[in-house]
């Protein structure tokens, strides 16, 4: 934990003034948000969201509204997909799992296809000029679908940046992306379950009908679900890094560059979203011939030249 705090601080120190101001803005925002929760009270906030969720669930096409919002927040730079999955349980109880699973597979595939189609030229330029991204592509080509699934299951990069990440890597096909998204079923189940339990605790009428033991049980289940999600995410994240760092047939330097590329996805928003000009491309494309040989742009020659 201390190691990650140190790494985070070093990253903060490297930010420019705008970046640091943005961090402090987020900090102030969450402080104000926490204060608002305390002032308004969690009970009133929970009741408000429960009432809104019930209005959506009782509409004929309420599921379509909820699913459409989930697809929208899957496009960078929006956030909130996990919250929307929880709202599926809030509005539809465990029946909301069908919406969450469908959107996580087919909705994210739409995002994948749109991003790749719109930013195809940008992707080629970036891959030709960024050695870390070439290293990440080489590792994913070496490990294949198992690593793609691990990255998809990992909480870092977050959902929205994970969509942009895979759309940025030409060696990842849409069917691999959909299979990896389907493996998120346990995660979807957990968040929908938490949403369903929270809904029962948020509504005054349901809560009045519960005895003390039932209320405590629901609260314990919600807390246990959150803890399980955090622990599972931590384990998957570490396993993902382990697999990247131990790719067979690739030198350690390439593995480390690939790890750096993964860690920077949240900062850069993946190459499809990075704002770079032709001048910056010319600067970064002026790499040594030796680097070109070590990090070729694509194809099987990439694996061969990266082999020790």
pLDDT tens digits, one per residue of 7-47: 667 777 776 777 678 778 878 887 888 888 889 887 788 88
In this model, does residue 138 exceed pLDDT 50? yes
Q: Cα dist. 136→143, 157, 165, 251 in Å?
A: 11, 14, 10, 12
Place of tokens 């929970």: 46
Please state the rounded mean pLDDT for residues 47-61.
86
Measure the CA–CA gap between 132 and 185, rounded to whole angstroms.
31
Single out the residue of 184, 191, 186 nearest to residue 87, CA to CA. 191
**Quick one: CA dihedral 285, 168, 134, 151, positive or negative?**
positive
The three-state secondary structure class of 123 is: helix
**Residue 249 confidence (pLDDT):** 65
Measure the CA–CA gap between 71 and 181, rounded to whole angstroms.
14
**pLDDT, tens only, 179-235:** 999 999 999 999 999 999 888 888 888 888 888 888 888 888 888 988 988 888 888
The three-state secondary structure class of 248 is: coil
**Residue 298 confidence (pLDDT):** 38
Task: Decide: 127 and 298 in contact? Cβ < 8 Å.
Answer: yes
Helices (H), the chain: 2-14, 17-40, 42-57, 62-72, 81-92, 96-102, 108-118, 120-129, 131-143, 145-153, 159-168, 174-182, 185-202, 204-209, 212-245, 252-263, 265-268, 278-284, 289-294, 300-306
On average, the pLDDT of the chain sits at: 77
Measure the CA–CA gap between 241 and 260, rounded to whole angstroms.
10
Q: 214 phi and psi, to 5 degrees?
A: -65, -40
Q: Please work out, in degrees rounded to the nearest 5, the angle formed at the alpha carbon of residue 189 by the alpha carbons of 188 and 192.
A: 85
Measure the CA–CA gap between 111 and 177, rounded to whole angstroms.
11
**Residue 9 confidence (pLDDT):** 72
Single out the residue of 129, 147, 124 nearest to residue 255, CA to CA. 147
Measure the CA–CA gap between 240 and 37, rounded to whole angstroms.
35
Measure the CA–CA gap between 72 and 76, rounded to whole angstroms.
9
- % of the chain exceeding 70 in pLDDT: 75
């Amino acid at each position: 934990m201390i190691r990650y705090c140190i790494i985070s601080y070093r990253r903060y120190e490297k930010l420019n003034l705008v970046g640091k101001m943005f961090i402090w803005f987020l900090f102030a925002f969450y402080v104000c948000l926490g204060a608002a929760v305390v002032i308004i009270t969690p009970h009133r906030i929970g009741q408000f969201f429960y009432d809104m969720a019930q209005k959506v669930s009782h509409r004929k096409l309420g599921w379509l509204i909820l699913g459409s919002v989930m697809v929208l927040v899957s496009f960078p730079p929006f956030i909130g997909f996990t919250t929307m999955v929880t709202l599926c349980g809030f509005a539809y109880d465990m029946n909301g799992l069908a919406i969450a699973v469908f959107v996580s597979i087919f909705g994210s595939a739409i995002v994948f296809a749109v991003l790749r189609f719109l930013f195809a030229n940008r992707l080629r330029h970036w891959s030709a000029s960024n050695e870390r991204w070439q290293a990440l592509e080489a590792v994913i080509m070496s490990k294949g679908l198992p690593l793609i699934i691990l990255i998809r299951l990992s909480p870092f990069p977050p959902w929205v940046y994970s969509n942009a990440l895979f759309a940025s890597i030409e060696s990842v096909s849409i069917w691999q992306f959909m299979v990896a998204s389907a493996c998120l079923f346990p995660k979807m189940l957990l968040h929908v379950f938490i949403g369903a339990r929270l809904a029962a605790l948020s509504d005054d009428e349901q809560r009045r009908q519960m005895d003390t033991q039932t209320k405590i049980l629901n609260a314990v289940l919600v807390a246990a679900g959150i803890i399980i999600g955090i622990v599972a995410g931590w384990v998957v994240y570490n396993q993902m890094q382990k697999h990247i760092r131990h790719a067979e047939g690739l030198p350690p330097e390439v593995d480390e560059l690939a790890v750096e590329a993964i860690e920077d996805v949240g900062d850069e928003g993946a190459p499809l979203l990075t704002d770079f000009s032709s001048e910056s491309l010319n600067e970064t494309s002026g790499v040594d011939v030796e680097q070109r040989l070590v990090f070729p742009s694509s194809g099987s020659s990439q694996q061969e030249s990266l082999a020790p």
